[in-house]
Amino acid sequence: MRLSDKLIVIGLSLVTLISFGHVGINAYQIQANPLINVREAVIDDSFTPHFKSIHLYRSNGFGESRKVTLDPIQSGPIGIVPAQLMIPKINVDTSVEFVGETANNQMGVPENPDYVGWYKYGSKPGAQGQAVIAGHVNYRNGPSVFYDLDKLEPGDTVTITDDTGDTRQFVVVDKKRYPYDTTALDDVFGPTSKQRLNLITCIGEFDQNAGTHGERLVVFTEQMD
Amino acid sequence: MKKTKGLVILSLVVLLLSLLQLPVFADGHHAMVRVLHASPDAPAVDVYVNGEVAVENASFKDITGYLELEEGSYQIAIHATGSDEAVYEQEVAVEANTRYTVAAVGLLEDGFRLEAFVDDLTVDEGKANIRIGHLSPGSPAVDVGLIGGDALVEGAEFFAVTDYLTLDPGTYDLEIRAAGTTDQVLDLSGTTLEANKIYNAYAVGADPSSLDVVLVVDDAEMAPEAMPQTGSETTTSMTLPLLVGVLSLGALGLFVTKRRAIKR
């Protein structure tokens, strides 16, 4: 054999040995590694598995979600939406319109002068607070629905019915006159723990300069038990 | 004529009566105070104000109507219903023209107290207002929002009552979530909010397992700035007396003539 041939054989043998050696070690590692990992997992208690169902292990302090249906409750007595107003003493039996406020923040008035208007942003009759209903004393050519409102006296009764027929009875407790431009609106619209219904109309001389009656009559009533 | 005379007398009486009007009767310048029982382990209670019973037999999750109090400081005492002995007493100061909810919160065993917060019963026309209260002593912080959507309230902890949020009326699929997560705690889907109403959603219960929501609704209660225009300039008030006058004069004339005719 030539020296060159010997070197080639030795070189190839070395390469063969190293190659097989690598394969052997590799095969051993593939077999051994899972065992090591599992052993570690058992020992290591800081290990946290990341399952898709991670929500089963919620740690937010709450349990499973529950469905809650909310039924609103009201504080205090529940009022009714007025549909009809009856005041036997002064022969009033009329429909109730809903009124809001005019452009200059006056309480609105009913479009039909034979009807009355309930201030819809305030209390409902029968609820705690002061529900307010206004009616015209007159309109263009004649007396209107609240023409005789001033004849009501403490003890007279007023009845409100809603459109399901639910009825509330009120009794007159007081009446008062206010200048048309009064700022004491709280007296009439402000909060109270009582179940009040206040009736308003115009009264007094017609003020040509102001273009309105000089005063407002307010009849205060309270729900009867 | 007799009727007119009656009317004149009546209106004179009324005028006189209105001159003799009693002292201010309907002043609205009070504090309005209501009580919410949000202490999960407390029994039904009576509430005494300055030694007088003001609320009787309020149970957990009950809210009372408003009491009317003059401005000032009050000794509020909580008694187990029917008992003469107070389990808790606290001074609460209230201002005129203000509404308060006074909530009994915490566990009777631990941290029981009264918390007072101001109610606002005004709302923009056509809108609904809602606020959230975290009144569950054992529950962690929560977010409240649309299911799988934006939070309306973030990180509310015991004890907290949020400001009012203004929403369009409608039905909302709301949920309570653990704060800062997407984890649903309570499913409040199908909660309907109506226009011109004010809602208070109070999360109550000792701990997460008994967490519940008390939804208190109030009608908006507002006032206009001026009295209504309930009259117009007419000659109406003159028409009726004139008519009656003319008719009665005619009748008088007829009567007198007839009488004379009979006499003859």
Show residues of chain A in contact with B10, CB under 8 Å. 151
Which candidate from B139, B187, B225 shows the least CB-CB separation from A65?
Answer: B187
Does one domain contain both B85 and B155?
no
Is pTM beyond 0.90? Reply is no
pLDDT-derived band at A40, boundaries 50, 70, 90: very low
Q: Consecutive sets of 10 residues in chain B, 264 residues long: mean pLDDT of each?
A: 55 46 49 96 96 95 95 95 94 94 94 95 95 95 94 94 96 95 94 96 94 95 93 60 70 71 64
| CATH number of the domain encompassing residue B90 | 2.60.40.1120
| pLDDT the model gives residue B91 | 94
The dihedral formed by the CA atoms of B4, B9, B15 and B18, expressed in degrees to the nearest 10: -120
Q: Is B112 contained in some domain?
A: yes
Overall number of domains in chain B: 2
Residues of A noted as catalytic? 136, 202
| b/e burial code for range A41-77 (CB count within 10 A of at least 16 → b) | eeeeeeeeeeeeeeeeeeebbbeeeeebebebebbbe
| pLDDT the model gives residue A209 | 84
Show residues of chain A in contact with B123, CB under 8 Å. none
Does one domain contain both B127 and B216?
yes
Q: What is the per-residue pLDDT across A199-211, written as a single tens digit (0 to 9) for each?
A: 999 998 888 888 8
Which candidate from A70, A108, A177 shows the least CB-CB separation from B188?
Answer: A70
Which residues fall within 8 angstroms of residue B118, CB to CB, at 6 or more apart?
A: B98, B99, B100
Contact across the interface for A212 and B229, Cβ inside 8 Å: yes
Does one domain contain both B132 and B196?
yes
Contact across the interface for A202 and B223, Cβ inside 8 Å: no
Q: Is B69 contained in some domain?
A: yes
| CATH number of the domain encompassing residue B154 | 2.60.40
Domain end position, chosen among B119, B142, B162: B119
Contact across the interface for A99 and B228, Cβ inside 8 Å: yes
CA distance B254 to chain A (A): 29
Q: What one-character DSSP code corresponds to residue A105?
A: S
Contact across the interface for B231 and A177, Cβ inside 8 Å: no
Q: What is the per-residue pLDDT across B124-152, written as a single tens digit (0 to 9) for each?
A: 999 999 999 999 999 999 999 999 999 99
In whole angstroms, give the CA distance from residue B56 to residue B59: 9
Contact across the interface for B234 and A121, Cβ inside 8 Å: no
Does one domain contain both B70 and B51?
yes
Q: What is the per-residue pLDDT across A135-175, written as a single tens digit (0 to 9) for each?
A: 999 987 789 999 999 999 999 999 999 999 999 999 999 99
Q: What is the mean pLDDT of chain A?
A: 85
Nearest CA in chain A to B138: A61
CA distance A25 to chain B (A): 48
Q: What one-character DSSP code corresponds to residue A213?
A: E
Q: Is B183 contained in some domain?
A: yes
Domain end position, chosen among B89, B119, B149: B119
Neighbouring C-alpha atoms within 13 Å toward the C-beta of A81: 8
Q: Is B59 contained in some domain?
A: yes
Contact across the interface for B201 and A70, Cβ inside 8 Å: yes
Q: What is the per-residue pLDDT across A46-75, written as a single tens digit (0 to 9) for each?
A: 555 555 444 444 556 788 889 988 899 999
Does one domain contain both B159 and B206?
yes
Query: Is the CB of residue B47 less than 8 Å away from at least one CB of chain A?
Result: no
Q: What DSSP element (H or E) covers A84?
A: strand A84-87
Show residues of chain B in contact with A124, CB under 8 Å. 219
Q: Which residue has the higher pLDDT, A40 or B252?
A: B252
Show residues of chain B in contact with A211, CB under 8 Å. 233
Q: Is B174 contained in some domain?
A: yes
Show residues of chain A in contact with B29, CB under 8 Å. 186, 190
Does one domain contain both B103 and B183?
no
Q: Is B13 contained in some domain?
A: no
Q: What percent of chain A has pLDDT over 70?
A: 84
ipTM associated with this complex: 0.72
Does one domain contain both B138 and B84?
no
Contacts 24+ apart (CB under 8 A), A90-95: A90/A148, A90/A149, A90/A151, A90/A152, A91/A148, A92/A135, A92/A145, A92/A146, A92/A148, A94/A135, A94/A145
Contact across the interface for A127 and B187, Cβ inside 8 Å: no
Q: Is B234 contained in some domain?
A: no
Does one domain contain both B72 and B144?
no
Does one domain contain both B135 and B157?
yes
| pLDDT the model gives residue A198 | 98
Which candidate from A140, A193, A196 shows the least CB-CB separation from B65?
Answer: A193
| pLDDT the model gives residue A28 | 63
In whole angstroms, give the CA distance from residue A148 to residue A125: 22
Does one domain contain both B113 and B173?
no
Please give the biggest Cα pair distance in chain B. Answer: 110
Q: Is B155 contained in some domain?
A: yes
Which candidate from A146, A189, A200 shows the least CB-CB separation from B223?
Answer: A189
Domain end position, chosen among B93, B119, B145: B119
In whole angstroms, give the CA distance from residue A113 to residue B52: 48
Residue A62 preceded by cis peptide, ω within 30: no
Does one domain contain both B211 and B130?
yes
pLDDT(A30) > 80? no
CA distance B74 to chain A (A): 18
**Which two structure tokens, joined as six digits, stand for B80?**
């187990």
Contact across the interface for B223 and A201, Cβ inside 8 Å: no
| pLDDT the model gives residue A10 | 84
Which residues fall within 8 angstroms of residue B77, CB to CB, at 6 or more apart?
A: B47, B48, B51, B86, B88, B89
Which candidate from A106, A124, A206 shows the least CB-CB separation from B227?
Answer: A106
Q: What is the mean pLDDT of chain B?
A: 86
Query: Is the CB of residue B16 less than 8 Å away from at least one CB of chain A?
Result: no
Q: What is the per-residue pLDDT across A100-133, written as a single tens digit (0 to 9) for each?
A: 999 999 999 999 999 999 999 999 999 999 999 9
Show residues of chain A in contact with B191, CB under 8 Å. 70
In whole angstroms, give the CA distance from residue B196 to residue B194: 7
Query: A84-223: which CATH topology?
Result: Sortase; Chain: A; (2.40.260)
Q: Whole domain around residue B186: which residue ranges?
A: 123-221
Q: Which residues pair with A172 in a beta bridge?
A: A221
| pLDDT the model gives residue B259 | 66
Domain boundaries for CATH 2.40.260.10 within chain A: 84-223
Which residues fall within 8 angstroms of residue A38, CB to CB, at 6 or more apart?
A: none
Among A100, A97, A180, A182, which Cα is nearest to A145's? A97
Among A122, A191, A75, which Cα is nearest to B200's? A75
Q: Are A97 and A114 in contact (CB under 8 A)?
A: no
Q: What DSSP element (H or E) covers B151?
A: strand B151-156
